[in-house]
Amino acid sequence: MIRFIWAVLAMTLLALPAHAGFDETINAATAPIASAIGAFVFFKIQVFGAQLPLVVLWLVIGAVFFTFYMGFVNVRGFKHAIQLVRGDYADPDSPGEVSHFQALATAVSGTVGIGNIGGVAVAVTIGGAGATFWLIVAGFLGMSTKFVECTLGVKYRQENPDGSVSGGPMYYMKKGFEERGMSGFGKFMGTFYAIGIFVGALGIGNMFQSNQAYVQLNTVAGGALDGMGWLVGLILAAVVFAVIIGGIKSIARVTEKIVPFMAVFYCFFAIVVILMNFTSIPAAIGNIFAGAFTGAGVQGGAIGALIIGFQRAVFSNEAGIGSASIAHAAVRTPEPVTEGYVSLLEPFIDTIVICTITALVIGTSQVADPNFAGDATGVAMTSAAFERQIGWFPLPLAFGALLFAFSTMISWSYYGLKGWTYLFGEGQMGQTIYKLMFCAFVALGCMVQLGPILDISDALVFLICVPNILGLYFLAPIVKREMTNYLARLDSGEIKKYTH
């Protein structure tokens, strides 16, 4: 049966490139919708000559509020988060469940992607070095949002009859609002969120990733893959198919193992490059601070740098989007708040560590040679900064980008699936239909340049942060109560630390 479905899928996809102008047709049909949705979601206001998308403001205000409301949990909870990940509080008598470390690793591999390498380059090109400062600030504030959403993800998850769990914003909104006697509103918000994450999963977590993976491969191959997008797409789709439908978990397990390794590998060599540019370090750091407050040479000045930095951070760590709470919900812990603590490490790793390191690689290279990258932007710019010092690095970098893209696709296929099952139930048939659709979009992402469709999905992913953050405001008192209660028991020694 599965082989049959696969054959049909393959034939359909193979037939696609034959239709000349296939993508143009779709583009033409969807462009008006995309620009309408995009204009609505990314509605920009003018602030001192800079354009500020309201959605970024919405996310940042949320993050500032949660940082104060939770009493700077992003600073005060940091040490405890590390202890939890190390397993210091894991009961040795009930091992074998998903550990805090595993939940964190899974969620991080969903957020660390092409954006950490290429997106940062775009941000510092447009927003100048000063954007880095605001990127770090936003990453730091985002930690508090993650804390709130992931605590709720675990607290209000659903235990399915087969023993598996489903969780995420759609569940905490439905159940949380029900508890507050607003069940109709909660259901509406949950459904809204589920539709958004499901559609978003096909774009930002799928087509965008596979498209970038293809572009990367083609760059490394020196353009030998021009016009071969359909082939790369089919191969990628086949691998994703093998993992999410064929149940060949070993492929995913291998990438899940390699991704953290690649992230460490990337950071290590990035630090090496920064150190090799050591004479430029003071100037690069000076530029970051100077740019952050004066915005020299940036459109919109300091505010422009701030907006670009904030935007890059929220796009990268997804704090406020709610996606990570779906991944964190799998942890079985009697204390939902512990998962909140662990999740605050996510924006830290993603934004404060990885994005900042990328920014410094580019920043120090720029100081040494302002024209080091020529006209290149995005991943190519980061790649050029590495190449200045380590000639062979572009190859492993491309390989890493491919793996990051792949693991992001696997994570997002799951997020989208949870949106789907929330809407249509846990039936196997429906799940298979969704997964097939997901694979088809993986292939499509490499074949065609469907800008408008990507724009729609991008917009939807950010649209869902509206109900999500709104829900978080309503439910934050519950999280605060849980946190206060947990900390009291931690202080009194009721929650034991196990020495291993």
Q: What is the CA radius of gyration of the chain?
A: 22
Going from the C-alpha of 14 to that of each of 9, 440, 444, the distances in angstroms are 9, 11, 10
The H-assigned helical ranges of 70-182 are 73-76, 78-86, 100-111, 114, 120-127, 130-155, 169-179
DSSP secondary structure letter of residue 17? G
Q: Name residue 418's amino acid.
A: K
x/- string (CB under 8 A) for other proteins, residues 27-66? ----------------------------------------
Among 30, 74, 166, 211, binds other proteins (CB under 8 A): 166
Instruction: Let me know: does 326 contact 332? Beta carbons within 8 Å.
Output: no
Which CB, 180 or 253, lies closer to other proteins? 253
Q: Of 188 and 265, which has the nearer Cβ to other proteins?
A: 265
Residue among 408, 439, 416, 442 at smallest CA distance from 262: 408
Stretch that binds other proteins, among 7-15, 157-165, 344-352, 383-391 (CB under 8 A): 157-165
408 in contact with other proteins (CB under 8 A): no
Least distance from other proteins to the Cβ atom of residue 401, Å:
19
Span near other proteins by CB under 8 A; candidates 92-100, 197-205, 390-398, 487-495? 92-100
Question: Using the rule CB under 8 A, is 496 a contact of other proteins?
Answer: no
Query: With respect to other proteins, which residue has the nearer C-beta, 106 or 343?
Result: 106
The residue from 243, 454, 460, 466 that contacts other proteins (CB under 8 A) is 243
Distances (CA, A) of 286 to 283, 394, 414: 5, 28, 42
Name residue, tokens 């291993």.
500
Asked whether position 185 contacts other proteins by CB under 8 A, the answer is no
Q: Choose one: 2-10, 57-65, 86-94, 137-145; the region binding other proteins (CB under 8 A).
A: 86-94
Q: Select the span of 56-64, 252-260, 273-281, 482-490 touching other proteins (CB under 8 A).
A: 252-260
Spatial neighbors of 247 by CB under 8 A, at least 6 apart, are none
Q: Which CB sits closer to other proteins, 105 or 194?
A: 105
Distance CA 90, CA 375 (A): 51
State the number of binding residues for other proteins (CB under 8 A): 41
Show the tokens assigned to 80. Answer: 């405890």
Which of 333/382 has CB closer to other proteins?
A: 333
Among 101, 188, 265, 424, binds other proteins (CB under 8 A): 101
Is the CB of 38 or the CB of 87 nearer to other proteins?
A: 87
Alpha-carbon distances of 213 from 209, 235, 398, rounded to whole Å:
6, 12, 8
Given the rule CB under 8 A, which of 118-126, 189-197, 290-298, 406-414 is the region that contacts other proteins? 406-414
H/E element, 209: helix 208-220
Cα distances from 455 to residues 21, 33, 207, 459, in angstroms, run: 19, 10, 11, 6
Binder of other proteins out of 410, 440, 460, 461 (CB under 8 A) = 410
Helix (H, G, I), strand (E, B) or coil at 108: helix
Selected range binding other proteins among 21-29, 111-119, 203-211, 248-256, rule: CB under 8 A: 248-256
With CB under 8 A as the contact rule, the residue among 92, 223, 227, 493 that binds other proteins is: 92
**Residues of this chain, 307-326, that bind other proteins according to CB under 8 A:** 326
* Nearest residue (CB) to other proteins, 92 versus 374: 92
Q: How far is the CB of 155 from other proteins (least distance, A)?
A: 16
Residue 415 as a binder of other proteins (CB under 8 A): the answer is yes
CB atoms within 10 A of CB 354: 25
| Residue 215 Cα to chain centre, angstroms | 20
Taking the complex as a whole, the smallest distance from the CB of residue 418 to other proteins amounts, in Å, to: 9
Q: Which is nearer to other proteins, 56 or 239 (CB)?
A: 239
Classify 43 as helix, strand or coil.
coil
Residue 431's Cα: distance from chain center in Å? 23
Binding status of residue 194 toward other proteins by CB under 8 A? no
Q: Which residues of 7-46 are buried (b: 16+ CB within 10 A; e: fewer)?
A: eebbeebeebbeeeebbeeebeebeeebeebbeebbeeee
Q: Which of 30, 212, 338, 411 binds other proteins (CB under 8 A)?
A: 411
Q: Which single residue is written with the structure tokens 């946190």?
A: 483
Cβ distance to other proteins smaller for residue 84 or 232: 84
Q: Rule CB under 8 A: is residue 433 a binding residue for other proteins?
A: no
Residues of this chain that interact with other proteins (CB under 8 A) are 87, 90, 92-93, 95-99, 101-103, 105-106, 109-110, 162-166, 243-244, 249, 252-253, 256-257, 259-260, 326-327, 329-332, 410-411, 414-415, 417
